[in-house]
Amino acid sequence: MGPRQALPGQLKSIKTEVQEATVHELGCHPGFTQTDLRNWLVGSIMKKLRLGKTELRVTTIGLGGIQITKVSERKAISTIKRGIDLGINLVETARGYFDSEQKIGKAIKGKRKGLIIVTKAGEREKEGLAKSVDTSLSSLKTDYIDLYQLHGVDNEEDYRRTLSPGGAMEALLEAKKKGKILHLGLSSHSLDLARKIVKDDLFESIHIPISFINTEVEESGFLKEACKKDIGVIAMKPLGGGRIEDPGLCLKYVFSLKSVVPVVGVESVREVEELVKIAEDPTRLSKGDFRKMEEIRKEIGTYFCRACRYCEPCPEGISIYRVLWLAVYVKQMGKQRVLSGSISKDVEKAKNCTQCGKCEERCPFHLSIIAGHARSIALLEKLKTKN
């Protein structure tokens, strides 16, 4: 009998007596991190999946770092720490997420062993990306980053820039050679481009929006293509960027896709505990679940922008997807950042819409863009009134 099989029984008899010092001593046990041991003591070990050719063993759910930028440092740290203590080993963030990397760096102090840290940056040139890698290492207070992603590669031009001489890919490869990062990934909001990226097979993982609203990801064959190339798939916005209020239903759907790892933005201990409870005891989708998903699709599906940007350019210079995403930005970044930044200006500009309808003609998902813009304008006015 191997050590992992024997250890739970050994710990069971001392469960009520064990102290932190004991956990520290047992931390030397082969195959177990101290986080694993703590989880045995509380009766919980999160299931793990292999993230494609990275060979990283990640928990079936990850913590997303954008929403902790809305809360105090103390609350952010306690939120991330709670997730780690409950067994989650995947923590994801980005250089562009304000102070997220710094908060996570403080939260993982003394807990780095066994964690899978993922971050990303939007620079497309070598020099800028190299600087971002070093900044991430400093902010996260770590010697290496498990998976570094190129952030938001949403069009062919951006993709080609990263791969061209002097592009960001060169910086990633050099950082990997130096041991600063272990694996290379990419995030994108464009399904068509994601399929091409998978076909090119230059990255070890891809991070793409997946939820039961945008089922085209599943229906397109993308997941099978990624599996064939052994590219790990991380689901961003599995709750639709906060637009779907039933996390259990959302995660059931993503779990049903097999080997897809959802990352969920969190901002409180309560949210983390709820996610862990769902992930520890996942159930299959029922007939009632399918009926509920269809009802939600009918309710919000006509406004559910994928940020593919096929609708652009707008003759009036309106950033169509940013306007439609107003509710998502409020959920992710908070009201004050939205009102004080460029997003509110984008929504204000939508008031210049002439309703020519060209965007709706181009939209492959047949969204009600004009009506969606009106909803966002109304939401912005409501936010300003409450401010």
Q: Cβ contacts of residue 341 below 8 Å, gap of 6+?
A: none
- 98 and 238, same structural domain? yes
* pLDDT at site 141: 97
- 73 and 219, same structural domain? yes
10 Å Cβ neighbour count for 286? 10
Q: What is the pLDDT averaged over residues 69-78?
A: 97
- With pLDDT > 70 as the criterion, what percentage of the chain qualifies? 88
10 Å Cβ neighbour count for 57? 13
Inside any domain, residue 6: no
* pLDDT at site 35: 56
Q: What is the largest CA-CA distance in the chain?
A: 72
Inside any domain, residue 377: yes
pLDDT at 153 over 80: yes
pLDDT at 44 over 90: no
Of 93-97, 111-115, 299-303, minimum mean pLDDT range: 299-303
Among 286, 320, 347, the domain boundary falls at: 286
Of 171-180, 194-203, 276-285, minimum mean pLDDT range: 276-285
CA of 215: how far to CAs of 211, 238, 287, 313, in Å?
7, 11, 17, 25
* pLDDT at site 386: 80
Buried b (16+ CB within 10 A) or exposed e, 97-114: bbebbbbbbbbbeebeee
Inside any domain, residue 220: yes
* pLDDT at site 372: 94
User: For the chain, what is the mean pLDDT?
Assistant: 90
* pLDDT at site 46: 81
* pLDDT at site 268: 97
Of 43-57, 158-172, 221-235, 264-278, minimum mean pLDDT range: 43-57
Q: Which band of pLDDT confidence, cut at 50, 70 and 90, is reported for residue 223?
A: very high
- 262 and 185, same structural domain? yes
The DSSP bridge partners found for residue 59 are 48
Inside any domain, residue 298: no
Q: Which band of pLDDT confidence, cut at 50, 70 and 90, is reported for residue 148?
A: very high
* pLDDT at site 182: 98
Contact 53, 231 (CB under 8 A): yes
Q: What is the pLDDT averaged over residues 22-41?
A: 50
Inside any domain, residue 1: no
Q: Which band of pLDDT confidence, cut at 50, 70 and 90, is reported for residue 380?
A: very high
- 176 and 34, same structural domain? no
Task: Give the model confidence (pLDDT) of 109-142 as tens digits.
Answer: 999 999 999 999 999 999 999 999 999 999 999 9
pLDDT at 165 over 60: yes
The DSSP bridge partners found for residue 121 are 150
- 256 and 165, same structural domain? yes
Inside any domain, residue 297: no
Tokens of 22: 């004991």
What is the residue range of 25's domain? 12-45
* pLDDT at site 27: 44
- 328 and 260, same structural domain? no
Q: How many domains does the chain have?
A: 3
* pLDDT at site 204: 98
Inside any domain, residue 269: yes
CATH number where 139 lies: 3.20.20.100
pLDDT at 12 over 90: no
- 17 and 79, same structural domain? no
- 155 and 88, same structural domain? yes
Inside any domain, residue 2: no
- 68 and 33, same structural domain? no
- 77 and 40, same structural domain? no
- 151 and 238, same structural domain? yes
- 311 and 335, same structural domain? yes
